[in-house]
Structure 1
Amino acid sequence: MVLPFLLMTGLNFSLHRRSIRRSVDREILLLSAQKSQALDTCFSSVEYAVDAASSFVLLTLDEARARNDAAYGTEYNGILSSALSHLCPFPAGLSAMYFVPAQSLAGNLGAVFLVDDGHGSFSPAEPGLVSPDDSWYQLPFKKGKPVWSGLRQSAAAGEPAISYAVPVYREQRFLGVAGIDLGIEGLSAQLGALPVQGMHVMLSSSDGSVLYSSDVAAPRKKQEDSASKGVVSPALPVEETVSSSLFFWDGVRHIGGRAGLRNGMSLLVAVPYADVIKVRNQLLLEQLVLLLLVLVLFALVLRFAMARFINPVKMLTDATHKIAGGNLGIDIPYRSDNEIGQLADSIRKMASQMLEYIAYIQRQTEQEREAKEAALTESRSKSEFLASMYVSMHEIDLDTDSFSEILNKEEQRGDEEKGVTDANFAIHQVMSRQAAPESKAALLEFIDFSTLNERMRGKITISHEFRSARGVWYRGSFILVDTHPDGTLHHVIWAVENIEKERHERERLRQEADANAAASRAKS
């Protein structure tokens, strides 16, 4: 009992360990897909809004007036501020949007900053929030293409933020930078609450900088300079799908996976391995207690069953073994009103009936043996009689045009022994080969099934004599077996007999008759 219990416990532990790991993998995969989709949607909205702002600047900005007319600069800043705040729907979590002109236009045209006023709308920020020397401004200008910047302190938003900045060019002339700041609080709102306690999420840029972390303050330097980069990045390469792996994050062992976003960023979803082990051990402990209770209950039931059922069952088992060995005269002393007592009564009755049945079978066997011997003798006599008379016999079913062989000697074997179902065709082929040329036409006309009903109407049998190609005389006969209710033929027997001796005897008798007649005429 102890060994099966230990085996069940080990098997249960192994199965649940795999089950919990698969559940964690599924949860990580699902959460990563959901959060990645939410971030991709948010970042796509940011990129669309910035592209719309840069397009508006290209369509509306008059460079000549901006350089020479201070009043135009003030007027255009107001137009651009109004246009940016109503240009397109903004993604949730947006902190600030801006357009910073190039240094060649900055004399009369100031930077335009709109910040979230906390009520779902945007208002101009204080001037002087940006300098063209800022790195987020210089990066898209130097690269000449849209850029997602790393985490920085947004002067306009007043909080850590990431920026999407687009350099604005008109005929290769740099006009400025349009962009949007997305604050950490906005990123946290996009990622939302985590469904599993202890689960962590980290967002990193394409160059490895940590942009957001759900459990610790996001560092301001790149991951390769932090304590966790050396283990997290090699263990979990950025992929489009999540593949769960074990790794260390901030010195703590985790299970997690990393998924890539469309803008080159990556999202890491992980849960501490200790939490998984804790849940697994708790489930194992609960099931271990349950198994122990089941084991105790089983032991009690087994003890009760041995006292009341096992011994009587053993007695019945011994009795059935003796019956199986042929000892049907046994006596079973156990008697009771319960189910086992009823079974004992049934076994006693079965043994008695088996004795009677064996005697009956012996009598029946002897009678059947005698009947089979008599039938075999009769069948042998009939077969010898038919063999002495006929060369071949076949029963023909005219409804299905098929036949079965009754008798067939070697000298008459042909295609019919091959089981051809086309009886008319088979008999026609065999007789055509065997008949002598002078007998063939009449014989083939005789065996034509299409006229057989008419020729046998009111008759039991019809016959036709023919000579074979070897010069031997035969007689072919159709013998009636049964008919349909309307009188048409159903089964007939086609029988062929050798009448060579009969023909010789008839010829001898004819010759004697002719000789006697000639002698009578000579005397007269």
Structure 2
Amino acid sequence: MKSIQTKFIILILSCILICSTVIGGAGIINAEKVVDEDTAQMMNYSCSEKAGEMDALLSRIEQSVKTLTDYTNEHLAGIERLKNDSAYLDEFTKQLESVAVNAANNTEGAVAVYVRYNPDFTPPTSGLLWSKTNLNGSFQQLVPTDFSKYSSTDVEHVGWYYIPVKNGKASWLAPYSNENLNIQMISYVIPIYKENETVGVVGMDIDFTVIKDMVNDVRIYDSGYAFLTDDKGNIMCHKTYPFESPMVSVDKSLVQLVDELKNGTSGSSLFSYENDGVKKKMAFRTLRNGMRLAVTAPFSEIDKSKNQLLLQILISLAVISTLAVFVTVLITRRMVKPLKELNTAAKKIAAGDLSISLTQQTKDEVGALSDSFQQTVNHLQKYIDYINSLAYRDALTGVKNKTAYKETERRLEEQMRQGHPEFAIVVLDINDLKQVNDSFGHDFGDMLIIDACKLICKSFTHSPVYRVGGDEFAVILEGSDYVNYKELLENFQAAIEEYNKHINQENHLSIARGIAVYNSSTDLVFSNVFKRADDAMYQNKADMKWRCVRADYDS
């Protein structure tokens, strides 16, 4: 049997060379990966943070207009009176003025507020319009736009009315220039309907400068900045390009960038492009009004820290390798391949990877150590597998728990980034569980949860069931269950009804449910799909409560 020392002396120089190459290469690759990930994370965070601030502003504006819309709907006596009673029309308009002006005064950037009635059955200047005559002034009552002077297709003058009415929903209008105030404005308008007829619209004009200031405040790296476009790639706010200019008209090399912005995609990775001969990277987010907020910086500034780090690694590697050869040959001469393999295996274990298999079989002390090491890892893998089975299982129901659900969420998010997976989420919630616990005790409530879980598992036999809350479950539908989800939901309802036939009326089981199917064009992250399913569940819960109240009332 050859000694370890003999093997070390023979192999030391080649081992040092191999180790230097492997460690140095891995260090360089990992350094590039880490820096690139940090860069993407920083730029995406900066973009997401600013997009969140802008969405919050847009949301406050929407809420102001919605509040005025709700007030208008609630206090409108009827559309026939609006059509036939001119005195009521004037009285109702007067009633809205103080509410409208108060809403505008309490909305950041508001420069005008208006409530306009359908010109088909009211005078062409009916309604109210309060506007600022200058940005620092107060709101003044103005004569509303005369509909009779413009065609319904005249977007420039009356598009603020006909576009939301045509859309049939609340709409953000594209920014435009107001020559009277010499500013750019953006409008949010909500159409009003009563008795299946269009009553008119409620809208508010906002000084676009408040949004542009938020965009211009963004600074990243040395010369990085943010810009704003619409959903067609037209400039809304840019430090260089003029307002409303198509990006492809100012630089034809931006065609791919415009296509990316039109698609509305965004995620953890950065988009690379070239502008005026400068290579850049960009992160962007879609705002709630459809515009795109982008954060961009040159490659040279982004890669500056990475290049410095790589240089430091190369210098350190050269110095360490030289010293290692000298010191190792003189002092130890003990490095051999089996020890190198053991070292690599130990690093994998430290990183959480237990799928190792030691291949270096020698008839010496290292070989015996390798055998013992492999047996230890095998036993450890069995224990960890057993612990994991406990960690991912719900103790009460036996189905998968929230930890397992998070693992599935990460898997599906990765698939969403790489392609277009087909899946749906069903969210289920037991109704009135608290009342059951208060009336019959938590043991009975636990039995109810178990029974509900059995019904869910029985109905969705080929899909994983997760208990994600005390009385809340989630089911991820893929494959055949995804294709037949409607039939499965019908079977589930039938199973609940069959269950309730065999128990007392006061102990009936009621489960609210909601489903959402993944849509690659709108669902950017997994939580988007879950939220829609959760919202659908709560709507179903509300509908079930309403039906119960209605049934009690009818009886």
Which TM bucket (shorter chain)? Answer: 0.3 to 0.5
Q: Which structure would you say has the larger RCO, counting Cα contacts within 8 Å and 6 or more residues apart?
A: 2
Larger Rg: 1
